[in-house]
Amino acid sequence: MYNQLSITTLALLLLLLASDVAAQPGVFNIRKYGAPNGDITNALKSAWKDACASTSPSKVVVPSGWYTLQQIDLEGPCNAPIEVKVNGKILAPKNPYHLNGQDQWVRFQYINFFTLSGRGTFDGQGEMAWKQNDCGKNTNCKSLVMNFGFAFLNNSVIKDINSKDSKYFHANVFGCNNVTFTNFNINAPETSPNTDGIHIGRSTKVKIINSKIGTGDDCISLGDGSRQITVQNVTCGPGHGISVGSLGRYPNEEPVVDLTVKNCTLNNTDNGLRIKTWPGTSVVSIASHLHFEDIIMVNVTNPVFIDQEYCPWNQCSKKSPSKIKIRKVLFKNIRGTSATQEGVALVCSSGVPCEAIVLSDIDLSFNGSKVIAKCENVNPTIRRKAPICMRPHV
């Protein structure tokens, strides 16, 4: 009798506890908004609306399962810190024209103290779109859709989320301040065009740490107005490497200042650490205080590359040199293997030559021999060991 009463009491307590957890304030589970497995667009909008209106910290939960999602904007300002926790797999429409003509599939914007978390995956199902992508050759191409847009976020974190097979860039970061990406993993085949991992523009204090990024384009790229950016403990490959730029193509571009890339590995990428600017334009700006240190290269085609003659598909004229001033750049402790003999190429502008470029402890080999360096319109400072420039001139 005593044991039976104890068991009954315990069962009641567990039931009460479970119901209390399920109904805990501040948690907005999309399943309570009519979203079993299937399309969750309306449920997610409703859950976000209620969570954003909460005056105490709130969490929108997408539990384990497979879901589909149409294009969605999740906007603030919200009344308190807000988190979206995704544990399921979410699929975008395969057809790129079923996304309302928007630039991003899932867009978070105008939010303070925002967190996107969970172990879930956002799958852009980009294969159909990649076959239609001719933007490399056609300047009037139809724009495709990125998996994520993060715009005007402050003091926010994106962690433990996976982005797969975006139709275009995986994540665009714009107008943000103090945003950290950690364990944000990106996966797309190397044959997927223009699937940049994370592109940053007009943003300050963005950190990308402890992440793996494999794409068909730049793993990380910095557009104009990027300031105080940190990239640390990131593995890149396949892809086109970690790039500053391209810069100088559009009017009214802002400087890129204060970048640190440290403790990263680039594995079989088309480029390693690259700074690229367009010639043949009238845009005047600057890229300064760029610090690359403790980088491992594994069979990288262009491990260290400043390219101020960047002009893909002959979309510009090289007759007029780039007007983007590159200065105060440090390449330190760069080691590993190059897929080309010319492992260091510093091709600077004849109009505004590079200044204060430092090569320190560059230990790269090609087929068992040390790489060589090509230098144009720059006279780098060599510290400790680094390949000597072939005919450097200013």
381 within 8 A of 357, measured Cβ to Cβ: yes
Q: For CA atoms 217, 219, 222, 226, give the dihedral sign.
A: positive
User: CB neighbours (10 Å) of residue 302?
Assistant: 22
Q: CA torsion, points 26, 29, 33, 39, in degrees to nearest 10?
A: 140
3-state SS class at 72: strand
H or E element, residue 261: strand 256-267
Q: Give the CA count within 13 Å in the CB-facing half-sphere of 58.
A: 19
Q: How many helices (H) and strands (E) would you count in the chain? A: 3, 31
H or E element, residue 154: strand 146-159
Among the listed residues 170, 199, 240, 289, the single catalytic one is 240
DSSP 8-state symbol, 314: G
Q: Is 262 exposed, middle or buried (0-12, 13-18, 19+ CB in 10 A)?
A: middle
Q: Is 240 annotated in the active site?
A: yes
End-to-end CA distance of the chain: 95
d(CA 273, CA 263): 13
d(CA 293, CA 360): 9
Region label for 272, one of left (φ > 0), alpha (ψ between -120 and 50) or beta (otherwise) = alpha
Q: Is 45 exposed, middle or buried (0-12, 13-18, 19+ CB in 10 A)?
A: middle
353 within 8 A of 392, measured Cβ to Cβ: no
d(CA 228, CA 211): 19
For the annotated catalytic residues, the residue numbers are 240
